[in-house]
């Protein structure tokens, strides 16, 4: 019997995937639809989504866009790439991303070539459809926690979106807590040999697609 993703989890991951992408005009035009989608997610996720969507409604689109760029594109600790915080621009990160590519291929999923395979909105979209995507999120539960902490430290409303996803996953084990503590203290490692930048070139140049 083929495994499936539960409806509540699928809705949570799909909505988070949408909300963690660059805020376009269509996002603001569809706020009523997003409110309905959030209300259909499990209780704790719904509360976190509602908090974030309330911020979207009370903030101008230009301010949201500026906050997004300042947060995700210009801060290393807030990068939306699941392997970046622990591995930075190192050879080890290239090996870590192979797991994402392998999972996509095995499921017949063809991701956008414009993004690296560990780009969180991409992983969430995959996880909303495939149990192997859920396994990827669970395996990188510590990395989600590092991102949530970084966003919370910056008092970013986007921390609520990460919380909505994390609450659906298993809690951190003792070993993972130790790894998170060390990674949080040290920050992403630096080594610019053997791997492309942690974000697409246009991000590094301060631009947007």
At 29, phi and psi to the nearest 5? -70, -25
The verdict on pTM exceeding 0.85 is yes
Q: For residue 203, is pLDDT > 80?
A: no
Q: What pLDDT does 198 receive?
A: 38
- Cα(138)–Cα(72) distance, integer angstroms: 22
**pLDDT band, very low/low/confident/very high, at 2 (cuts 50, 70, 90):** low
**Mean pLDDT, all residues of the chain:** 89
**Model confidence pLDDT, tens digit, residues 13-38:** 999 999 999 999 999 999 999 999 99
- Cα(86)–Cα(94) distance, integer angstroms: 12
**pLDDT band, very low/low/confident/very high, at 1 (cuts 50, 70, 90):** low
**Model confidence pLDDT, tens digit, residues 35-85:** 999 999 999 999 999 999 999 999 999 999 999 999 999 998 999 999 998
CB 21 within 8 A of CB 119: no
DSSP per-residue letters across 69-131: IIIIIT-GGG-SBTTHHHH-SSHHHHHHHHHHHHHHHHHT----TTS-TTBHHHHHHHHTT-H
Please list the residues that pair with 81 across neighbouring strands. 119
Q: What pLDDT does 194 receive?
A: 43
Cα 75 to chain centroid, rounded: 14
């Amino acid at each position: 019997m083929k495994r499936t993703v539960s409806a509540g989890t699928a809705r949570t991951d799909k909505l988070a995937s949408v909300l963690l992408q660059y805020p376009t005009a269509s996002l603001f035009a569809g706020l009523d639809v997003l409110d309905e989608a959030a209300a259909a997610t499990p209780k704790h996720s719904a509360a976190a989504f509602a908090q974030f969507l309330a911020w979207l409604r009370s903030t101008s689109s230009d301010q949201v866009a500026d906050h997004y760029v300042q947060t995700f594109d210009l801060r290393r600790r807030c990068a939306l790439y699941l392997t970046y915080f622990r591995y930075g621009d190192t050879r080890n990160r290239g090996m870590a991303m192979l797991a994402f590519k392998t999972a996509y291929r095995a499921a017949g999923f063809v991701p956008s070539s414009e993004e690296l395979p560990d780009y969180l909105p991409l992983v969430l979209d995959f996880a909303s459809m495939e149990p192997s995507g859920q396994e990827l999120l669970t395996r990188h539960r510590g990395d989600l926690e590092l991102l949530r902490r970084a966003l919370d430290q910056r008092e970013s409303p986007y921390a609520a979106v990460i919380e909505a996803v994390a609450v659906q996953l298993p809690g951190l084990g003792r070993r993972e807590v130790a790894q998170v503590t060390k990674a949080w203290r040290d920050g992403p490692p630096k080594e610019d040999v053997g791997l492309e930048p942690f974000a697409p070139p246009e991000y590094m140049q301060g631009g947007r697609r």
